[in-house]
Amino acid sequence: MNGSSQQKAQLGVGICGLGTVGSGAFNLLANNEAEISRKTNRHVKVVQVGCRRDHTDCDLSDVDVTRDIFDVVKNPAVDIVLELIGGTDIAMELVIAAIENKKHVVTANKALIALHGEKLFQMAADAGVCLKYEAAIAGGIPIVKAIREGLAGNDIEFVAGIINGTTNFILTEMESAGNRDFADVLAEAQALGYAEADPTFDIEGIDAAHKLTILSSIAFGVPLQFDAMYTEGISKITVEDIRYASELGFKIKHLGITTKTDKGIGLRVHPTLIQKDKMLAQVNGVMNAVLVGSDAAGETMYYGAGAGAGPTASSVIADVIDVVRAGNAIPDMGFLQDELLNSPVLAIEDVESAYYLRLSALDKPGVMAQISSILGRHNISIESLIQKDLHDGQVPVVIVTDSVIEKSMNAAIVELESLDQVEDSVTRIRVESF
């Protein structure tokens, strides 16, 4: 029998930050109050909001509003604090204060978790409260729960994903438009609100690296290791690279990739060529997708909106419901702290992959023989090759190699660039088979 509303106890939520995500979380709790109550047997209600200014989309008429977010973590009526202010410094102080006041915390802050998560998780465990973070990765895609709970019985082998909508939008537009360069599409992304005025965190891969740090930890039961991440952005990708990749049967995507090997954990974010018929190649625009490889379930892919008020709020409120239902029944990182493995992170030079190489060679006899000879000396096999028509005395040459350790490729590129017949630097993009 359903309990009457009078029999259900209230659980107080305090929201810190009323921007895109905060307002989305506030309205989702209000709009779906009855459904959430049915799922938790509690009245989950926002009792206080801490924000610098009100949000026009939120009806705050019956909610206590404060301009000091630290009032929220001290409020005895607040059971769960939603940290939705962003950044790391003040957010760190806020989360620590919440934990010290015995409040559960739900956050969408990937940088905070990637950089300071282990300290905060230990503090939360010592205080007997939860620290949840589903919304920190891939917006509305429940990827944390999928890996931590849905695939809990599996040995995870790899995680590879498009986990930044800005970079995916730019690469998609560069491909579909055919002749628009990176700077042009970036300006459009900024005009549409997909990219910040300072887009560095997105286009240089830092945002994706924060997210991948967390995914690697929950997938493999290893410490959060952001500082060991190899990170490369998309600002050097050209229209020519996208065109040549397409001619060879590939698309260029900006991927976060973490793998488990006998030698250690691979942890890298960079542009990647993937075959057009692969699932990740079909993910376009601002959408996100994460592909997980595991021993029993095989490959599973999770697709959806990676940002926005509604999708991100969906993940925030799912964490709130988890706190109400189960509390600390499931370790926040999927593994107990004393069960984490100190597996080393592989240096990028020790990672193995195939490669796309683009170079401009002078139109002279024997140049291709020299290029092939250099690659052969480093045990690099050519999988495919395009030699374009002569242009301004130079011949564009595009090569896709078989898989090789990166240090061998680095050495080969040094030799290629030293040839008198090779103009400028060699463009190198990794190729994966996901």
Going along the chain from its start, the domains and CATH numbers come out as: 5-136 (3.40.50.720), 143-305 (3.30.360.10), 352-431 (3.30.70.260)
Task: Return the H-helix or E-strand segment holding 211.
Answer: helix 206-220
Query: Among 211, 251, 253, 260, which one carries the catalytic annotation?
Result: 211
Mean pLDDT for the chain?
94
Tokens encoding 90: 């003040």
Mean pLDDT of 180-208: 94
Given this model, what pLDDT does residue 340 score? 86
Given this model, what pLDDT does residue 3 score? 46
**Amino acid identity, residue 145?**
K
Task: Return the H-helix or E-strand segment holding 30.
Answer: helix 20-31
Mean pLDDT of 96-108: 98
Using DSSP, state whether 50 is helix, strand or coil: strand
Separation CA 66–CA 47 (nearest Å): 11
Residues 298-301: contacts with CB under 8 Å, at least 24 apart: 300/146, 300/151
Query: What DSSP character marks residue 4?
Result: P
Answer yes or no: are the C-beta atoms of 289 and 279 closer than 8 Å: yes
With 80 as the cut, is the pLDDT of residue 389 above it? no
* Other CB atoms within 10 A of residue 399 CB: 22
Separation CA 144–CA 134 (nearest Å): 6
**Amino acid identity, residue 2?**
N
C-alpha separations of 397 from 309, 357, 358 in Å: 45, 8, 6
First-to-final CA distance of the chain:
49
Separation CA 145–CA 302 (nearest Å): 11
Separation CA 148–CA 152 (nearest Å): 6
**Percentage of the chain with pLDDT > 70?**
98
Using DSSP, state whether 16 is helix, strand or coil: strand
Using DSSP, state whether 361 is helix, strand or coil: strand
Active site residue 211: yes
Residues 194-201: contacts with CB under 8 Å, at least 24 apart: 194/165, 194/166, 194/169, 194/286, 195/166, 195/170, 199/166
Given this model, what pLDDT does residue 2 score? 47
Answer yes or no: are the C-beta atoms of 426 and 154 closer than 8 Å: no
Cα angle at 262 between 259 and 267, to 5 degrees?
Answer: 25
Given this model, what pLDDT does residue 6 score? 55
Separation CA 323–CA 12 (nearest Å): 12
5: confidence class by pLDDT, cuts 50, 70, 90: very low
390: confidence class by pLDDT, cuts 50, 70, 90: low
Per-residue pLDDT of 313-371, as tens digits, reads 999 999 999 999 977 778 888 888 888 889 999 999 999 999 999 999 888 888 889 99
Total number of residues shown for the chain: 434
- Tell the burial category of 32 from Cβ atoms under 10 Å away from its Cβ (0-12, 13-18, 19+): middle
